[in-house]
């Protein structure tokens, strides 16, 4: 187990290095980073300060070293607009994004898994057919369109829910739904196929022969085994959710990281944009590592994989 952790951690570190190198390269290759990183109207002293901080007049390896050093010490630059360290802004908004992501995941579990189970248990019935269509739709609907439709129906016409911003559970419901919809659809499909596979397995047939009642069989044996691929999907989905969250946060004016990035774009706040991208990548690598370890803990076969 320890070996696995060490190996995975090493991989993560390499990934992070490549990540930072990519971001670094993109900025340097596409123009003058000093212009990007200095505020408009910067005077000579400001430009000089920017050059010094990021080592822009040195050779590229030195610059990169400076870049990594800055990141490691948590110095991702100062936002032009907010005049605050980017890392501070990021962590200030992070809890909001996490709240949304968790709510979305929870909702999608609550919708996707029972629906998938139902589809599997009553395979090829009405439920199943409906489920298939819904799942397919879910994977095809752009999240922001769903969000806009939800606002149209529940906020504008029915006036049940607020249109956006942060508040209580009512503010959270629609964005969480719009964000988690895609995941719910995948979960539905996955749960269904997983369940079907398990239900047809010898293991379950044996349990049935033993005379155990149907729901016990499903609950105890089928469900647990079907859950394993769900965890994998959850890990993958985290990245999708961080992506989609940008859009959902904009549609619903939710004050999270995605919106921070979006605002940074129109404020041409380059340190902010770069900082958010770097931190988002770091977060994902970190969380993936945790999930990998968790997964390996659950399923011993994984530990032996390369």
Partner 1 sequence: MSTTTAPNAIEFSAPSPLRRWLRELPLLPVLILLPFALMATFAPFIAPYDPTEPVPGAKVFAPPFWMVDGNTATLLGTDFQSRDLLSRLIYGARVSLIVGLMGTVVAGSLGTVLGILSGYIGGWVDQLIMRVTDAWLALPALVFAIFLATVVGPNMWNIVIILGLVYWTRYARVIRGEVLSLREREFVQLAEIAGASRLRVIVRHILPNVLNTAMVLASLTIGVVIIAEASLSFLGVGVPPPEPAWGLMLSEARSTLMAGKWWLTVFPGACILLVVLATQLLGDWLRVRLDPQQRNL
Partner 2 sequence: MGGKHRRSLSSIGLTRRDLLVGSAAMAAQGPAPFMTPAAAAAANGTMTLAWHTAMAPRWLDPQEHDGTATPDNFLTALHDALIKNSGTTLYDHPALAERYEFAQDGKSATFWLREGVQFHNGEPVTADDVKFSYESYRGALASAFKAKTESVDVVDKRTVRFRFKEPFLDFLLLIGSGNVTGAGWVVPAKYYQQVGPDGFKRKPIGAGPYKLAYVEAGVKLQLEAFEQYYKPVHIKQFTIVSVPEAATRLAMLERGEADIIYGLPGELIDRVKQNPKLMLAPVLSGSFWLELVGFQDPSSPFHDKRVRQAISLAIDRKAINEAESGGLGKVSGNWINDDVQYGLTWPELEFNLEKARALMKEAGHANGFAVNWLTPLAPFYSRGERVVAQLQAIGIRAKLQVMERGIFLQRTQSGKQQWPGVQIIMHGARIGGTWVNWYESFFKCGGFNSADRVCVPELDAKLDRYKTSTDASERKLLAEEVQRAILDNYYLVPVFRHAFMNAIGPRIAAQKWQDVFPTITTGYAYPWEDIKLKG
Binding stretches for partner 1 (CB under 8 A): 11, 14-19, 22-23, 26-27, 30-31, 36, 136-137, 139-142, 144-145, 148-149, 151-152, 156, 189, 193, 196-197, 239-240, 242-244, 246-247, 250-251, 261-262, 265-266, 270, 273-274, 276-277, 280-281, 284-285, 288
For partner 2, the binding residues in 124-163 under the rule CB under 8 A are 151, 155-156, 159, 162-163
In the numeric block, which tokens belong to residue 178? Answer: 């719009």
Looking at beta carbons only, is 78 or 246 nearer to partner 1?
246
Long-range contacts of 214-219 (CB under 8 A, 24+ apart): 218/117, 218/121
Q: Site size for partner 2, by CB under 8 A? A: 26
Residue 200 and residue 169 in contact, taking contact as beta carbons nearer than 8 Å: no
Looking at beta carbons only, is 38 or 242 nearer to partner 1?
242
Q: What is the DSSP letter of 39?
A: P
Is the CA virtual torsion 75, 23, 257, 270 positive or negative?
positive
Q: Residue 56 Cβ, how far from partner 1 at the closest point, in Å?
A: 15
Residue 194 and residue 230 in contact, taking contact as beta carbons nearer than 8 Å: yes
Percentages of the chain per state (helix, strand, coil), in multiples of 5:
80, 0, 20
For partner 2, the binding residues in 83-102 under the rule CB under 8 A are 83-84, 89, 92
- Please state, in angstroms and rounded to a whole number, the distance separating the CA atoms of residues 224 and 34: 55
Residues that bind partner 2 (CB under 8 A): 39-41, 80-84, 89, 92, 151, 155-156, 159, 162-165, 253, 255, 260, 263, 266-269
């Amino acid at each position: 187990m320890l070996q696995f952790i060490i190996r995975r951690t090493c991989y993560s570190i390499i990934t992070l290095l490549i990540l930072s190198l990519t971001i670094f390269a993109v900025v340097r290759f596409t123009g003058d980073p000093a212009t990007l990183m200095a505020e408009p109207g910067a005077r000579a002293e400001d430009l000089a300060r920017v050059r010094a901080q990021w080592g822009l007049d040195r050779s590229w390896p030195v610059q990169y070293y400076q870049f990594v050093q800055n990141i490691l010490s948590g110095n991702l630059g100062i936002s032009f607009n907010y005049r605050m360290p980017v890392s501070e802004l990021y962590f200030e908004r992070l809890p909001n994004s996490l709240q949304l992501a968790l709510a979305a995941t929870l909702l999608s579990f609550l919708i996707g898994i029972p629906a998938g189970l139902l589809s599997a248990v009553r395979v090829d019935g009405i439920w199943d057919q409906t489920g298939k269509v819904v799942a397919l739709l879910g994977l095809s609907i752009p999240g922001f369109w769903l969000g806009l439709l939800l606002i149209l129906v529940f906020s504008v016409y029915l006036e049940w829910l607020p249109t956006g911003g942060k508040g209580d559970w009512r503010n959270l419901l629609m964005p969480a739904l719009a964000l988690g919809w895609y995941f719910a659809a995948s979960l539905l499909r996955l749960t269904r196929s997983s369940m079907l596979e398990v239900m047809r397995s010898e293991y379950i047939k044996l349990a049935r022969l033993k005379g155990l009642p149907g729901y016990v069989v499903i609950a105890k044996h089928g469900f647990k085994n079907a859950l394993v691929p769900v965890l994998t999907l959850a890990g993958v989905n985290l990245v999708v959710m961080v992506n989609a969250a940008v859009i959902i946060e904009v549609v619903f004016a939710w004050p999270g990281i995605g919106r921070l990035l979006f605002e940074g774009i129109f404020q041409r706040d380059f340190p902010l944009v770069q900082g958010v991208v770097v931190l988002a990548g770091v977060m994902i690598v970190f969380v993936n590592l945790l999930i990998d370890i968790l997964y390996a803990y659950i399923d011993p076969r994984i530990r032996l994989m390369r």
